[in-house]
Structure 1
Amino acid sequence: MHRAESRDNMLVKSYLLLPMILSAFERDSAILSTHLRTPAPYLEVLGTAAAVATIDLRDVRSEMRRRGIKVYEQNRLNTGIEARFICRGYHERMLLLNDIVASQAAIHMRRYLGLDISSFKSYEEQYQIK
C-alpha cells in the first residue's frame, strides 16, 4: 500500500487550513470595521496577513499540482475535517481533528500577523519524531 510522504501530507494540511485562516481574517476584518472607532491600522494588518496567506495558498496549490496531488473530497465531521485525495495515482485519506485544526490555525494566524511563534513547538519537536 502506498502512503503519501510527509511533505505531501503537509501540503494537503495547508490546503485545508489556509482557506479557513483566510475566512477568519475576513470575518475578523468585518467585525473590527464595525466595532472600532479607528479600525484602519487593524484592518491594514489583517489585510497584509490575508495577502500573504493567499500567496501561500497559491504556492501550495501549485506545488500540489507539480507533485500530482489532488483533493477531491472534503467533509466537515463532528470530530474534524476529513479529506480524500489522490497522491500520484493512489487514493489517500486525512482526518484533521477539530483541536488540531484550531491550534494549527491559531499558530499560522499568529505567524501571518507578525507575532512571535518561537514558543510553539513543531509536531516533530513535540513528539520527538526524526
Structure 2
Amino acid sequence: MHRADSQDNMLVKSYILLPLILSAFEHDASVMSLELRTPAPYLEVIQSAVHAAAADLQEVRAGMRARRLKVYEQQRLEAGVEAKYICRGYHERMLLLDDVINAQATLHMRRYLGLDGLG
C-alpha cells in the first residue's frame, strides 16, 4: 500500500494552513484599520507578512504539482479540518485538529511578522 512521505505531508499541511493564515492576517488588518488611531505602521507589517505567506503558498503549490499531489476536497469538521488528496494516483486523507492548526498557525504567523526569536 502506498503512503505519502513526510515531504508530501508537509506540503499538504502547508496547503491547508497557509490560506487560514492569510485569512487571519486579512481579518486582523481590517480590525486594526478600524480600531487603531494610527494603523498604518501595523498594517505595513501585516502586509509584508501577507506577501511572504502568499509567496510561500505559491511555492507549496509548485511543489505539489512537481510531486503530483492534488487536494480535491477540504471539509471543516467539529475537531478540525479534513483534506482528501491524491498522491501520485493514490487517495490519501489528512486530518488537522484545531489545536494543531492553532499552534502551527501561531508559529508561522510569528515568523512572518518577524517575531520568531522573541517571546
Q: Normalized against structure 2, the TM-score is what?
A: 0.97
Aligned to 1:71: 71
Deviations 1:38-63 (A, max 9, x none): 00000000000000000000000011
The count of aligned residue pairs is 119
Q: Partner of 1:43 in structure 2?
A: 43
| Residue number in structure 2 paired with 1:109 | 109
Counterpart in the other structure of 2:55? 55
**Whole-angstrom CA distance in 2 between matches of 1:110 and 1:103:** 11
Secondary structure, aligned partner of 2:54: helix
Unaligned runs of 5+ in 2: none
CA change 1:62–1:74 in 2 (3 A) is same
| Cα distance change, pair 43–84 in 1 and its aligned pair in 2 (3 A) | same
The residue type equivalent to 1:3 in the other structure is R
Corresponding residue for 1:4?
A: 4
Question: CA 1:77–1:117 in 2, change beyond 3 Å: closer, same or farther?
Answer: farther
8 Å CA contact retained: 1:64, 1:70: yes
User: What residue in structure 2 maps to residue 26 of structure 1?
Assistant: 26
Opposite residue 19 of structure 2, the aligned amino acid is P
Residue 95 (structure 1) aligned with residue 75 (structure 2): no
TM-score (norm 1): 0.89
Structure 1 spans left out of the alignment, 5+ residues: 120-130
Determine which structure has greater relative contact order: mean sequence separation of CA pairs < 8 Å that are 6+ residues apart, divided by chain length. 2
TM-fit CA distance, 1:118: 7.9
Map of 1:81 onto structure 2:
81
Answer whether contact 2:107 2:116 (CA < 8 A) is retained: no
**How far has the Cα of 1:32 moved from its partner?**
0.3
Structure 1 segments (4+ residues) deviating >4 Å: none
Give RMSD over aligned pairs: 1.2
What is the match of residue 123 of structure 1? none
